[in-house]
Amino acid sequence: MSIDGELVVFIICGGLSVIGALGMVLSRKAVHSALFIAMVMINLAILYIANSAPFLGMVQIIVYTGAVMMLFLFVLMVVGVDSSDSLIETIRGQRLFGILFGVALAILLIGGIGSSLGDKPDIGLKAANDEFGGNVEGIANLIFSDYLFAFQATAALLITAGLGAVILTHREAWKPKASQKELSVARFMVGAGHPGNKPNPGVYARHNAVNTPAILPDGSLALDSVPEPVRSRDDSLIVDHRAVSTVVELVESEDQN
């Protein structure tokens, strides 16, 4: 018995995809599930290529692992990464009966298909793929002849889906966005606080330490310029009296002129 290369690929990729599917169902965190199903999809893409469907294999990787799974991860980040399942069953025995149903489905399908398709011939796609020069050309020939209507309906479906997503996630603005003028009026309203930047500590002073209050142009001290924790210990404030008197003199001489 010679070693069948396809059998090796099937055992590796098939096994990995079953492991990935089980991991997807069993893992507690949704992000792990998303990564597991990405693994399943890559392995299925390899199996498509092994089944002489290279175009579908590439589309599987680009569309599923590239676009769909990234969309899933994106929505996971929106919804919250740690949104794991609660362990309380709302319907009693749901988990047990669900697993029983799944196992029964698998046994039924494998038994039924195995008994009805056991002697099905394996014709292979070599002739069909070579008819128009390749797999992509063969599928294109079918899409643009026999399945043309379905292909055009697909276009309508995609546009509808895109519009639907935009409309579903759209949120109506409840009040109009504030203009620059309205923001400015609100800033100067009574009770809104200081309208502009507060002076930094050390302005017009001869120290730039953070506990030196700024001296305003009229010679008074701007206590707001010192951070609140420093200001509350008022023995630590450094007031440069010489600078204050200089500013006051300057203001008075300006007034006389």
Of residues 197-256, those binding other proteins (CB under 8 A): none
Of residues 141-160, those binding other proteins (CB under 8 A): 142-143, 146-147, 150-151, 154, 157-158, 160
Report the distance separating Cα 225 and Cα 96, nearest Å. 67
Q: What binding mask, one character per residue, do residues 85-124 give for other proteins by CB under 8 A, x or -?
A: xx---x---xx-xxx-xxx-xx--xx--xx--xx-xxxxx
Tokens for 14, please give them. 């098939």
Write down the least CB distance from residue 135 to other proteins, Å: 8
- Nearest residue (CB) to other proteins, 102 versus 217: 102
- Nearest residue (CB) to other proteins, 102 versus 227: 102
Write down the least CB distance from residue 176 to other proteins, Å: 21
| Backbone phi and psi for residue 221, each to the nearest 5 degrees, phi listed first | -95, 135
Write down the least CB distance from residue 209 to other proteins, Å: 48
- Nearest residue (CB) to other proteins, 166 versus 183: 166
71 binds other proteins (CB under 8 A): yes
Among 39, 46, 64, 212, binds other proteins (CB under 8 A): 64
Of residues 168-207, those binding other proteins (CB under 8 A): 168-169, 171
The amino acid present at 168, given as its one-letter code, is: L
Specify which residues 221 forms β-bridges with. 215
Write down the least CB distance from residue 178 to other proteins, Å: 23
SS (H, E, C) the chain: CCCCHHHHHHHHHHHHHHHHHHHHHHCCCHHHHHHHHHHHHHHHHHHHHHCCCHHHHHHHHHHHHHHHHHHHHHHHHHHCCCCCCCCCCCCCCHHHHHHHHHHHHHHHHHHHHHHHHCCCCCCCCHHHHHHCCCHHHHHHHHHCCCCHHHHHHHHHHHHHHHHHHHHHHCCCCCCCCCCHHHHHHHHCCCCCCCCCCCCCCCCCCCCCCCCCCEECCCCCEEHHHCCHHHHHCHHHCCCCHHHHHHHHHHHHHHHHC
Write down the least CB distance from residue 191 to other proteins, Å: 34
- Nearest residue (CB) to other proteins, 50 versus 248: 50
Among 164, 182, 192, 242, binds other proteins (CB under 8 A): 164
Q: Identify which range of 83-91, 180-188, 197-205, 246-254 contacts other proteins by CB under 8 A.
A: 83-91
Of residues 5-34, those binding other proteins (CB under 8 A): 6-7, 10, 14, 17-18, 21-22, 24-25, 30, 33-34
* 239 closest CA partner among 223, 251, 218: 223
